[in-house]
Amino acid sequence: YFGGRLDSLLMRVVDIQLSFPAMLVALFIMAAFGRGLGKLVTALTIVGWVLYARTVRGSVLVEKKKEYVDAARLIGLSPFPIILRHVLPNILTPLIVIATIHVGTVILTEATLSYLGVGVPVTRPSLGLLVKNGYDVLFSGLWWSSVFPGMFIMLLVFGINLLGDFLRDEFNPRLK
């Protein structure tokens, strides 16, 4: 909302991070710090925050130029009440939709890291580990031990993406 040097610095950090593939960054973090659920969540957070930073910044830049924000400024409201009452409620809709759709990406990333052996420990349940364990016996005739977890991942991500599309349509005032 305020812009300035901090905004520019954060956007340059976002640009730098977006220049690297997210899976490669997550793989590097997990390989460097080891396996574990906490480390996996940290790696997924480091990889995923840039999407939210870009979305919030873009939405705030659009909202702060609208007439109702100018009107609130003219009647004497300070910036923080304007942000809380006017800008924040209007940027929540894109964030909810992005978060819903991003859940599918996080599921796929976790499954991939666990499949590669750098995700959660083998003592923890993971769809990626189920696919890997099934792949080890895939050609021995036990094809379902790998296919069913893979299909479950596909259906889960597909269902979450459908939920994200539904939320986007529900929250979009132009479609009503």
Q: What's the mean pLDDT in 75-104?
A: 89
pLDDT by residue (tens digit) across 150-176? 999 999 999 999 988 888 888 776 666
Q: What's the mean pLDDT in 130-149?
A: 87
Tokens standing for residue 113: 């890291």
Q: What's the mean pLDDT in 109-126?
A: 91
Domains in the chain: ranges and CATH: 4-175 (1.10.3720)
pLDDT at res. 174: 65
- Report whether pLDDT(136) > 90: no
Q: What's the mean pLDDT in 10-20?
A: 94
Tokens standing for residue 11: 């956007």
pLDDT at res. 63: 92
CA distance 129 to 112: 9
**In the chain, % of residues over pLDDT 90:** 63
CA distance 30 to 47: 12
Chain-wide mean pLDDT for the chain?
A: 90
- Report whether pLDDT(19) > 90: yes
Q: What's the mean pLDDT in 95-107?
A: 90
Higher pLDDT, 164 or 58: 58
Q: What's the mean pLDDT in 20-41?
A: 92
- The CA–CA distances, whole Å, from 56 to 17, 24, 139, 176 equal 17, 25, 48, 24
* 3-state DSSP assignment of residue 20: coil
pLDDT band, very low/low/confident/very high, at 9 (cuts 50, 70, 90): very high
pLDDT band, very low/low/confident/very high, at 109 (cuts 50, 70, 90): very high
Q: What is the DSSP string of 89-114?
A: HHHHHHHHHHHHHHHHHHHHHHHHHH
Residue 70 CA from chain centroid, whole number:
32
- Tell me which residue has tokens 């539904």: 166
Which region holds residue 77: left if phi is over 0, alpha if psi is between -120 and 50, else beta? beta
